[in-house]
Amino acid sequence: MILMTKINIPPNTPLELIRKLFNLLSEAGESRLVGGCVRDIICGKMSDDIDIATTALPEQVLKIFSKHNIKAIPTGIKHGTITGIFDKHILEITTLRKDVECFGRHATVEFTDSWEEDASRRDFTINAMSMDLEGNIYDYFGGIEDLKNNLVRFVGTAEKRIQEDYLRILRFFRFYSYFGGNNIDKESLAAVFKYAPQMATLSGERIRQEMLKIINKQYAYNTIKLMVENGVWEHLNCGSPNIEKLYSYKFCSEALINLAAIIRSTSDPILNCKNIRLRWRLSNKEMTTLEMLCSKDYELNSTDDINSKKALYFLGKQNFLMKLKLKFVEEPNEDLSKLFELAENFIIPAFPLNGRDVRRIGFEGKEIREVILNTTNAWINSNFSLKKEELLELVKTYYISRA
């Protein structure tokens, strides 16, 4: 059954651009906005992606684009998707589809002119709506009502939807973290629990993409708790976080900082940090940052000025600020204003010694690095007051004690 309702389209929606495209496509069929962008528009937000569906066949779309000198890229023409560069905007247009045979993600599809059949292929009711440019919402599965209730519910049978793509297990939690509602669809949750072990078949890249979205949302704590309690988190190759500890955290909008806080609450942060790298396929840059954040080295203390300066010196301003944000996540009630002021105002002085100075005294190879580190710590502990001559005397003392 179709439920139609009309809304006021938010003014930040690029209506004129879409209207021009729809008018061109009207030569071959009807077009609507679909999926996540409709969900976001109903919520009064501007979506990052504008998804367009049409009853026009891919060949017809290509012909129309060619006729009007619009650059077209047949990115997924086998499955009905054409990418067009339209008024310098990149838009994807997909012909309505229905499943003929389904082999997980690799379904055999057939083009259709039925909006309801196309909507029935979507994952959740809140993502299965379509909208014309007059603001008419076409809702086939109760998505508007579910949005009102902050309810994430699979289209049709939850088990069937999940078997089509096991990533939908994580997408269920991602949208839960997006809305943060207290209402939970029992059928959906039971199916998620049943098929959670099948996440082992997912690529690390797909897990990473969903998980980093889950943990940078406002309701990250509620979502993680739900995943732990329903046997999903254990299939992410990371030990269970301390839910009681996470309850007091104030998660931020930066996923890696939140992930570090979660890992640090586990019984073995170092091991779990490595396991996540392997399973989630984090980039080298992400992993370097995560290891720095998870490390107990250079823990910040707002009452210890020297150690704070030492952390700023060795970490650098950018990493220091990330450590500081992590501390705010973990200890949101602590006054960290002095540390923020330090990061903003402290000018890191240049260390007076270099390797050549140490080599002249008699040290070689790896010893040089060790001596530089020891003298640097002594210099910082003096609040950067030791002069080059005084530091050289320290190096000479090290050399004599070694002999």
| 154: DSSP letter | B
Class of domain 1-148: alpha beta
Q: What is the full DSSP assignment across 206-237?
A: HHHHHHHHHTTSTTHHHHHHHHHHTT-GGGGT
Distance CA 122, CA 355 (A): 63
Q: 164-296: CATH homologous superfamily? A: cca-adding enzyme, domain 2 (1.10.3090.10)
| Residue ranges covered by each domain of the chain | 1-148, 164-296, 297-344, 355-402
The pair of structure tokens assigned to 102 is: 């389904």
pLDDT at 3 over 80: no
* pLDDT value for 180: 72
Average pLDDT over residues 234-255: 95
pLDDT at 103 over 60: no
* pLDDT value for 127: 96
Residue 222's pLDDT band (boundaries 50, 70, 90)? Answer: very high
* pLDDT value for 403: 61
- Read off the pLDDT of residues 251-279 as tens digits, 9 standing for 90 and up: 999 999 999 999 999 999 999 999 999 99
Largest CA distance in the chain: 90
Residues 6+ apart with CB under 8 A from 396: 361
pLDDT at 113 over 80: yes
Least confident of 172-186, 251-265, 336-350: 172-186
pLDDT at 61 over 80: yes
207 - beta bridge partners?
Answer: none
pLDDT at 106 over 90: no
* pLDDT value for 87: 79
* pLDDT value for 12: 77
For residue 155, the Cα-to-chain-centroid distance in whole angstroms is: 24
Average pLDDT over residues 220-240: 95
Share above pLDDT 70 across residues of the chain, in percent, rounded to a whole number: 98
Phi, psi for 33 (deg, rounded to 5): -80, 145
- Read off the pLDDT of residues 135-168 as tens digits, 9 standing for 90 and up: 999 999 999 999 999 999 999 999 999 999 999 9
Least confident of 86-90, 195-199, 237-241: 86-90
